[in-house]
Structure 1
Amino acid sequence: MGGSYLENFRENLIFWIWELKNNLKIIEMKTFLLHTFIFFTFLITAEITAQNTPISSELVLLDVETGKEKIILHEQRHFEAPNWSRDGKHLIINTKGKLEKISVKGKHLGIIDTGFADNCNNDHGLSFDGKWLIISHNDPRVSSSGGNSRIFILAANGGIPRLITSNYPSYWHGISPDNQWVTYCAMRDGQWDVYKAHVITGEEIRLTDADGLDDGPEYSYDGEWIYFNSHRTGRMHIYRMRPDGSEQTQLTFDDYDNWFPHPGPDNKSVAYIAYIEDQKGAHPFGKDVKLRLLDVETGESRDLTPIFYGGQGTLNVHSWSPDGKQIAFVRYNSKAE
C-alpha cells in the first residue's frame, strides 16, 4: 500500500487520535477534547513544517554482496520507489504523480507517458518480461475511506492505461511471471488484505483474511510463491504463501517492523525494509530504517545497510537489478543542505 509521505501522515493522524482516546483513559469529555485539540494542533503544525522543509532524496544502487553503495542521483526534491528496468539500463521513480526514467548513471531520461493517469502513487512496476508497466493511480472519479487508488496496465514505454481493478482502493505490488495475475493490497469491507486479479478479466480473488493489515504481495521469479508482509501477530513481519493463498508461513521473527519483501532472481534471497521501532502497523516516512536480506533456505536475515532516514518511498516496490547483484533504493535527508 502506498501514498506520499504527507498522504500517510494524514491517514496516521486519525489512527493516532484513536490511540490517544483509548490509551489516555480519559473520563471527562472536556479533558479528552482538550487533549485532542492539543494533539491535532501539534500534528498539523508538524505537517505544515514538513511541507515547508526541503527534502533531499538520494537514488542509491547497492551491491548486496559487498554492501558498496553508489549514489547516482541526489536532488533537493522528494521522489520515491525505484524499479529497475529488465534490460538493466534505467530505473523508474515516481514524483508528484508522474513516473520518470533515470539512467543507471543518474541521467534524466524523461517522463513516461501514462495518459490520463497523472496521479500515480508509489506502487508501480514492470512485468518480468519487461513489456508491461503496472501503475496504481489515485483515480479522481472514485472515492472511499481507504483512498481512491486503482490498478492500470500499459506498455512499458508509455501509452494509454487500461483498468484492471474496478474495485478500490487497490495498491499494486506484483505480477505473475506469465503476466496473467496481479497481486495487491486492498481494502474491502473495512479490512486490508492481499488480493489477486486476472489481468484480462479483472476477476478478483481474496488471498488473506487474517486480522490486521496484509500488504506488499510480490511473486517470486519462479512463480511458486507470493511474499508479503502482515501485522497479524501485532508486529509487522515477512510471510509467504502459494499463489492460491495456501501455506501462509511466517519468515521473520525479530523485533523490527519488516515491510515490503522483494524476492530476488535467484529465488532464494528476499530484500526488505526494516523499521527499527514498532510503527503500530503503519509505514510512515521519515523514520530510522535499514535494508535487510533474508535467506529463504536458512531463514536467517542480515543487514544490507546501516540505519538511515527513510521509510515510505524507500523500497516500496521491486527494485532488483536483472542480474540479482544490486538493489536500488531511496534515502532521504529532511535538512536543507
Structure 2
Amino acid sequence: MRAYLEIWDVASDTSHLVMEVDRHIEAPNFTADGQALIVNCDGRLYRVPLDDPRLIPIDTGQQDRINNDHGPSPDGQWLAFCDKSLTGQTGLFVMPLAGGTARQVVLGLPSWFHGWDPSGDGLIYAGVRGQGAQRQFAILRADLRSGAEDVLITGTGHYDGPEMTADGRWIWFNSNRSGPMALWRMRADGCGVQQMTDGTQDDWFPHPSPDGLHLCYLAYERGTEGHPFGVDVDLRLMPLAGGPSRLLRRIHGGQGCLNGPCWSPDGLRFAYVHYQ
C-alpha cells in the first residue's frame, strides 16, 4: 500500500504532491493557518507541515482507534475527531489541536464528525438514533460546551457527510432518500431540503469551499454499496450555488480519500489522498 497526499489548486487546475508514504494515511484537513495538514493513520492522528512534509504524531492519549472523521475548529484551537477505543462504538471527541486530554462531546452513539459550525460553537455530524425499529440515520448538530444535541433531519434512508457552508446558511450532505446516493443541501435548521446532484453516480462527502464558490466531492460508480475502499472513484468539483459538476481526475481509493473538511482557509486549494 502506497499513499499519495496531494493538494488540488482550483485556479490552475493542477495537483501538487505533498508526500508519498508506505502507510495508510487518510482524510487530510488543513490547519486554520494553512501551514499544515492533519491526517489519520493506524488509529492515530498526525500533523504534516507543508514546508517539511512528514508525519508528526499528535498526542491522543489512550485513544488509538481514531478513524477518518476529524477536523480542526475555525479558530485553530481545537480538533474534533471520532474514536471507539473508549466507547465501543464511534464517539465524538474534542481536544486541543496540539494534543492532550480529549472529552466526549455527545453521549449518543454512534456519531461521526463531519464539520464545525462556522462560529466554532457547534459540531455538525451524522449518527444513528432511536430504538429498535425506530432506529434511523440522522444529521445532527451539538453545542460544543453543553453537548446538547439537535436532530436536523432523519429518515429511513442513509444520511452522511454533513458540512456547513462558511456563511452558516446551508448544510450539505449525501443521502439515498430519493433512491441513488446523491448530494443534498438544507437550511441550517433542517428545512428547505434540496437535491443537488442527479444520481447518475453515487455521490459522497460534499465539501463547500470557505470562499463560497465551489464544492468538491467523491463519486462512486452507480450502484456501489456504501463507500468502500479499494475502488476507482471520481474526484469532482461543482459550483456551490448548484449546477453541473466536472471531473478533476479519477483516483484509486474511495474511503479515506476525502472524508473530512479538506479546503484551505482561503478556499483556493483542497487536500486529498489516493492510493496505489
Fold shared by both chains (TM-score > 0.5)? yes
Contact map agreement 1:73 1:106 (CA 8 A) in 2: no
- Give TM-score scaled by structure 2 length: 0.94
Say yes or no: does 1:192 pair with 2:137: yes
Among candidates 38, 44, 62, match of residue 8 of structure 2: 62
Flag structure 1 segments of 5+ consecutive residues without an equivalent.
1-54
Aligned to 1:297: 241
Aligned to 2:254: 311
Identity %, equivalent residues? 40
Contact map agreement 2:205 2:218 (CA 8 A) in 1: yes
Match of 1:98, as an amino acid?
R
> 1:1-337 maps to which residues of 2 (within 5 A)?
55-105=1-51, 107-108=53-54, 110-140=56-86, 142-143=87-88, 148-189=89-130, 190-280=135-225, 282-305=226-249, 307-333=250-276
For the pair shown, the structure with the greater C-alpha radius of gyration is: 1
Aligned to 2:177, the other structure's residue is in SS state coil
Instruction: Find the aligned partners of 1:240 and 1:181 in 2 and give their Cα distance.
Output: 18
Instruction: Find the aligned partners of 2:170 and 2:29 in 1 and give their Cα distance.
Output: 20
Instruction: Find the aligned partners of 1:297 and 1:76 in 2 and give their Cα distance.
Output: 38
Contact map agreement 2:93 2:103 (CA 8 A) in 1: yes
Match of 1:92, as an amino acid?
I
Contact map agreement 2:32 2:75 (CA 8 A) in 1: yes
Instruction: Find the aligned partners of 2:108 and 2:241 in 1 and give their Cα distance.
Output: 37
> How many residue pairs end up in the alignment?
272
The structure carrying a bigger strand percent of its residues is 2
Contact map agreement 1:116 1:160 (CA 8 A) in 2: no
Match of 2:127, as an amino acid?
A
Moved more, 111-120 or 91-100: 111-120
Instruction: Find the aligned partners of 1:134 and 1:273 in 2 and give their Cα distance.
Output: 22
Contact map agreement 1:217 1:227 (CA 8 A) in 2: yes
CA 1:106–1:308: 2 relative to 1, 3 Å: farther
How far 1:63 moved relative to its partner? 1.1
Please list the CA deviations of residues 8-27 of structure 1 after superposition, one character each: whole Å capped at 9, or x if unmatched: xxxxxxxxxxxxxxxxxxxx
CA 1:63–1:162: 2 relative to 1, 3 Å: same
Contact map agreement 1:239 1:252 (CA 8 A) in 2: yes
Aligned to 1:271, the other structure's residue is in SS state strand
Aligned to 2:146, the other structure's residue is in SS state coil
How far 1:132 moved relative to its partner? 1.1
Contact map agreement 1:198 1:204 (CA 8 A) in 2: yes
How far 1:153 moved relative to its partner? 0.8
Instruction: Find the aligned partners of 1:174 and 1:326 in 2 and give their Cα distance.
Output: 17
Instruction: Find the aligned partners of 1:272 and 1:135 in 2 and give their Cα distance.
Output: 20
Instruction: Find the aligned partners of 1:327 and 1:77 in 2 and give their Cα distance.
Output: 21
CA 1:175–1:298: 2 relative to 1, 3 Å: closer
How far 1:200 moved relative to its partner? 1.1
Instruction: Find the aligned partners of 2:35 and 2:240 in 1 and give their Cα distance.
Output: 28
Aligned CA-pair RMSD = 1.4
Match of 2:108, as an amino acid?
N
Aligned to 1:209, the other structure's residue is in SS state strand
Please list the CA deviations of residues 241-281 of structure 1 after superposition, one character each: whole Å capped at 9, or x if unmatched: 1111111111111411111111101213111111133213x
Contact map agreement 1:64 1:304 (CA 8 A) in 2: no
Aligned to 2:127, the other structure's residue is in SS state strand
Aligned to 1:121, the other structure's residue is in SS state strand
Moved more, 200-209 or 89-98: 200-209
Contact map agreement 2:206 2:216 (CA 8 A) in 1: yes
Aligned to 2:62, the other structure's residue is in SS state coil
Please list the CA deviations of residues 153-212 of structure 1 after superposition, one character each: whole Å capped at 9, or x if unmatched: 111111211110111110100111112211111112332211111111111111112321
Please list the CA deviations of residues 70-98 of structure 1 after superposition, one character each: whole Å capped at 9, or x if unmatched: 11111112110000111111100100111
Contact map agreement 2:143 2:149 (CA 8 A) in 1: yes
Instruction: Find the aligned partners of 2:242 and 2:208 in 1 and give their Cα distance.
Output: 15
Match of 1:160, as an amino acid?
T
